[in-house]
Amino acid sequence: MTRLRLVVCCALAALGLWTVTLGAQAPLPTPESSLGFRVGADFKLATYEDSLAYFRKLDQASDRLQLVEVGRTSEGRAWYFALISSPENLANVEKYRQIAQRLAHPEGLTDEEARRLAREGKAFVHIDGGLHASEVAHAQHTIQLAYDLLASANDPRIRNILDNVIFMLWPSVNPDGQTLVAEWYRSNVGTPYEVAPMPWLYQKYVGHDNNRDAYMLNMIESRVLTRTWRQWEPQIIYVQHQSSPFPTRIWLPPFAEPIATQVPPLLSRTVNTIGMVIAQALEERGQVGATHMGSGFDAWYPGYIDYLPMLKNVAAFWTETALYRYATPHFYTIADFPRDKVELRSESLYSSPWKGGWWRLRDAVDYMLTASTAVLDYAARYKTELLYNRYQAGRDAMKKYAAEPPYAYFIPQAQRDPVAPVELLRRLAFNGVKVYQLTKAVTIGNQSYAGGTWVIPMNQEFAELARQVLEPQRYPDLREYPEGPPEQPYDAAGWTLPYQMDVRVIAASSPLGDDARGALKLLEGPAADWKADDTDRSPFDSAPGAGFDTDANAAGIVPAPAKAAGTGAALAVDAAQNNAFRAVNQAWRAGGAVQLDAKGRYVISGVAPATLTQWVEHLALRAEWVAAPAGSRVAKPRLALFRPWTASMDEGWTRWLLEMYGFDFTPIDNADVQSGALRDRFDVIILTDERARTITDGFQPGSVPPRYEGGIGDRGVRAIEEFVRKGGTLVCLNGSALFAIDALKLPVRNVVAGLTRQQFFANGSILEIIPDAAHPVMAGMPDRAPVFVFGSPAFTTAKEFEGTVLAKYRASGTPLLSGYLLGEKYLNNAAAAVDARYGDGHVVLIGFKPQWRGQPFGSFKVLFNAALFHGELAAKAAGTKGFWAPPQQPEPEKKQQ
Ligand SMILES: [Zn+2]
């Protein structure tokens, strides 16, 4: 059969953002005919390539499905989603897209016009094959779902869906991971390691944290999704997951407490309703075991890409279907059940208890098919309400902040790191928040703002998103029972970006007058020009050679032009700026030399002044020309980053960050550490946030193929000990500090070890520390610095301790800035970071997460400085006493005989 392929011209196609092809009818191929097995068959997983090959066949065979290319993944795969709807809707898809756009951005619309558009428009619904690739069923279910909709197009229920919904079906939203996991599983099926975990991350850098990046947009995949949603403005976004609390078979919204404070109630109610609609559909099909409870899936943290759109007035949510492991079936008996579930008692929100038995991949696929179809059915029935409510929630946000504070956020250009506010504002703009700039100085209330100050006026439709990430969080004091321990947040309790990024943001408590409004100039966000292609660059930062001034992605939100003061051939760059480290790494590549001076500035020499001038401009550096280099020599470190086989997300984030800032480093694994002679090869070794046991013991023998089992073991510990003793620097982030204390018998103690959750609790919050900026590891840090803690240690030292306290907690009162802290007294006077001398070397213990998920721009420099802390710099630091005496361990109390 010959196929007529017709490129539909529309505004987007003209921009090259997407192409649509319409094919004439061919017989509809079944998934089995393409994959070679039935979707969800035992022991079988389709890769992304398998899935895409099938979707291409559907695209050719059906006039109800069109593939749309959206960009490339982190590993460079071409990435698509499918539009599925009636042929008439697809022929008019641009008209309907514009209606969805218009209703998502209500400015200038009346309620009557909105009602008319809602009646005229179609519901856009996003459902996908998941982003957590080790939860394997979702990316299989999308294959079957596409076929079912097309094969049953004449069934009245499906026809109603296709007539009223324009369905955005993504085979997967982590294509790289789908293929990695399927290939890993295939290599192990039939061996003793059939259900072994994959020893690397299923997203190039961040693995499971690919669902924690929604407002930072550090990963390409987050940006592709966000930009596509902004182009199509769906009213429902539904992402499938798999980890229902056992023995329930699927967890559905409503979410557990607490939910994000700024989420519009109308959207919360919509998601709650959809959860119930899915549950009812499952019962209708005899699919038992749905629950809405017992999961701890709260929706407090807005970093979930499948929840953040709520703050943009989209009904966004996820569900969690039960999983065993990969495509291997498993038989459960009541004996496997937790005690409170053995009676199989019908509960209000768990009405049909699952009784055990076989659970196969196909069962999970079938539950997901029911759930996805129920959501489409709901959207078809209520499409007018969904469209109008999107408008109404946006309209209400605009009204709310026209009448109550905060009326606006002001972000001055003068900041400790002049690039940090740009990084912050570009991210908000990419997400659709409108960012303006003052064309002249204005005064609001009794506060004056200079011309050039950035402004986020709050009478805009996505205002709640801005507020949710800019304001401090107060995590509610929820107890498991009265006087019991606090309930654990599912993720972070506080994330306030002005704290994390060290950006001064001022909330306006008085309305903006006409004068201020007249001075506002709208800036273009970076999303429109960004291309997720082979030459992907972050649209937020400025990498050398791709400076703000020349970068098309800059699109309006740029730092104030930079010019170095003074005269001389060397350039001194304040370490408060993250781009100082880009300049340092560039300098070494260009054959230059680097020193750290007494003012906490990296002084670059031996590079042509014209080149340095270019860096100043491109990196927007605050810098000063000086006559001659002064300070301690900083040699380019031979840097190693330890990578455990446990697929460490913190290692991945750190690897990503070091790459972003131009550090050269060598990844090392267990075997590299055990082979010894580390000092001959490296100056600095970084251990990211791992449990001590993960580093030493790794995977249990027998649980993974032999080359991935175990940790560094005793031999590795001895090799690391020798490395430090012979003058190396070991940098331990957060949890790995406890490894070093134990392995090297450091005279340092974790003061919060062994405390119960009723005594001390500080997970995922922002605390204030007092750094010693005179120490090279704290160069560029402010007098008081917010840092992010997550299961973090705090230190006290014994008498025999030699070294320096790098940062400490305040002597009294609470260091809490955002999130939740119980038991502040345990932190008072404790050290937050120490530099411990050991033999000829140093062990730098950082009791917080300086690079957490690529968010705390304010503390990246602690990691970067530590990576440079070796040689002459470290030798000099060892000779000086810091300005604090280390906090000493109290004498152990004498036991009474
Ligand atoms: Zn998941």
**Beta carbons of 328 and 393 less than 8 angstroms apart:** no
- In the sheet where 290-291 sits, what is the strand order? 65-72, 78-84, 165-170, 123-128, 236-241, 315-321, 250-251, 290-291
Give the pLDDT band (50/70/90) at residue 60: very high
* CA of residue 854 to ligand 1 center, whole Å: 20
pLDDT per position as a tens digit, 150-192: 999 999 999 999 999 999 999 999 999 999 999 999 999 999 9
Q: What is the mean pLDDT of residues 345-351?
A: 96
* CA of residue 238 to ligand 1 center, whole Å: 12
* CA of residue 273 to ligand 1 center, whole Å: 22
* CA of residue 136 to ligand 1 center, whole Å: 10
* CA of residue 157 to ligand 1 center, whole Å: 30
Count CB neighbours of 754 within 10 A: 8
* CA of residue 599 to ligand 1 center, whole Å: 46
CA distance linking residue 261 with residue 468, whole number of Å? 7
CA distance linking residue 211 with residue 241, whole number of Å? 11
* CA of residue 132 to ligand 1 center, whole Å: 5
CA distance linking residue 399 with residue 283, whole number of Å? 41
Q: What is the mean pLDDT of residues 667-687?
A: 98
* CA of residue 243 to ligand 1 center, whole Å: 7
* CA of residue 252 to ligand 1 center, whole Å: 13
pLDDT per position as a tens digit, 357-409: 999 999 999 999 999 999 999 999 999 999 999 999 999 999 999 999 999 99
Q: What is the mean pLDDT of residues 753-781?
A: 95
**pLDDT for 556:** 84
* CA of residue 129 to ligand 1 center, whole Å: 11
**pLDDT for 75:** 95
Q: Which residue has the higher pLDDT, 239 or 536?
A: 239
Q: Among all chains, which residue has been given the structure tokens 């560039």?
A: 586
**pLDDT for 543:** 47
Give the pLDDT band (50/70/90) at residue 488: confident
pLDDT per position as a tens digit, 596-646: 999 999 999 999 999 999 999 989 999 999 998 888 999 999 999 999 999
Per residue, the 3-state secondary structure of 759-791, as one string, reads CCECCCEEEEEEECCCCHHHCCCCCCEEEEECC
* CA of residue 135 to ligand 1 center, whole Å: 6
* CA of residue 285 to ligand 1 center, whole Å: 25
* DSSP 8-state assignment for residue 171: S
Say yes or no to pLDDT of 350 above 90.
Answer: yes
Type of residue found at 579: N
* Alpha-carbon dihedral angle through residues 395, 396, 397, 401, given to the nearest 10 degrees: 110
Percentage of residues in the chain having pLDDT higher than 90? 87
**pLDDT for 541:** 66
Give pTM, 2 decimals: 0.95
Q: Is 364 helix (H, G, I), strand (E, B) or coil?
A: helix
Output the furthest CA–CA distance in the chain (Å, rounded): 96
Query: Which residues, in sequence order, are bridge partners of residue 521?
Result: 437
Within 8 A by CB and 6+ apart from 883, the residues are 772, 774
For residue 15, CA distances in Å to 19, 99, 439, 515, 528 come to 10, 19, 31, 37, 10
CA distance linking residue 730 with residue 776, whole number of Å? 15
* CA of residue 208 to ligand 1 center, whole Å: 7
* CA of residue 295 to ligand 1 center, whole Å: 13
pLDDT per position as a tens digit, 137-152: 999 999 999 999 999 9
Say yes or no to pLDDT of 3 above 70.
Answer: no
* CA of residue 117 to ligand 1 center, whole Å: 36
CA distance linking residue 756 with residue 133, whole number of Å? 35
Give the pLDDT band (50/70/90) at residue 883: low
Say yes or no to pLDDT of 721 above 90.
Answer: yes
Q: What is the mean pLDDT of residues 770-782?
A: 96
* CA of residue 501 to ligand 1 center, whole Å: 28
Question: Is-cis flag, bond preceding 544, omega within 30?
Answer: no
CA distance linking residue 224 with residue 349, whole number of Å? 36
* CA of residue 556 to ligand 1 center, whole Å: 36
If we measure between CA atoms, which residue out of 409, 536, 535, 532 comes closest to residue 460?
A: 409
* CA of residue 402 to ligand 1 center, whole Å: 38
CA distance linking residue 658 with residue 867, whole number of Å? 10
Angle at 696 between CA 694 and CA 697, to 5 degrees: 70
* CA of residue 653 to ligand 1 center, whole Å: 18
* Alpha-carbon dihedral angle through residues 181, 187, 188, 190, given to the nearest 10 degrees: 130
**pLDDT for 320:** 97
Q: Which residue has the higher pLDDT, 810 or 23?
A: 810
* CA of residue 141 to ligand 1 center, whole Å: 15
* CA of residue 10 to ligand 1 center, whole Å: 36
CA distance linking residue 463 with residue 263, whole number of Å? 11
Percentage of residues in the chain having pLDDT higher than 70? 93
* CA of residue 420 to ligand 1 center, whole Å: 31
Give the pLDDT band (50/70/90) at residue 891: low
**Beta carbons of 735 and 793 less than 8 angstroms apart:** yes
**Mean confidence (pLDDT) of the chain:** 93
**pLDDT for 18:** 42
**pLDDT for 558:** 87
Q: What is the mean pLDDT of residues 470-474?
A: 97
* CA of residue 240 to ligand 1 center, whole Å: 7
* CA of residue 491 to ligand 1 center, whole Å: 13
* CA of residue 211 to ligand 1 center, whole Å: 8
* CA of residue 322 to ligand 1 center, whole Å: 11
pLDDT per position as a tens digit, 522-575: 998 777 677 776 556 677 765 443 444 434 444 488 888 888 999 999 999 999
* CA of residue 192 to ligand 1 center, whole Å: 26
Q: Which two tokens stand for residue 459?
A: 């009478």
CA distance linking residue 416 with residue 576, whole number of Å? 6
Backbone angles phi, psi at 766, to 5 degrees: -110, 120
* DSSP 8-state assignment for residue 190: T
* CA of residue 246 to ligand 1 center, whole Å: 15
pLDDT per position as a tens digit, 83-137: 999 999 999 999 999 999 999 999 999 999 999 999 999 999 999 999 999 999 9
CA distance linking residue 656 with residue 331, whole number of Å? 40
**pLDDT for 537:** 67
* CA of residue 692 to ligand 1 center, whole Å: 26
* CA of residue 17 to ligand 1 center, whole Å: 29
**Beta carbons of 459 and 405 less than 8 angstroms apart:** no
* CA of residue 418 to ligand 1 center, whole Å: 37
Say yes or no to pLDDT of 706 above 90.
Answer: yes
Please report which residue ranges of 42-155 form alpha helices under DSSP H.
48-61, 87-91, 93-104, 111-120, 137-151
* DSSP 8-state assignment for residue 822: B
Instruction: Please return the burial class of 458, using the count of CB atoms within 10 Å of its CB with bins 0-12, 13-18 and 19+.
Output: buried
* CA of residue 239 to ligand 1 center, whole Å: 9
Burial 49-65 (b: 16+ CB within 10 A, else e): ebbbebbebbbbbbbbb
* CA of residue 242 to ligand 1 center, whole Å: 6
* CA of residue 197 to ligand 1 center, whole Å: 15
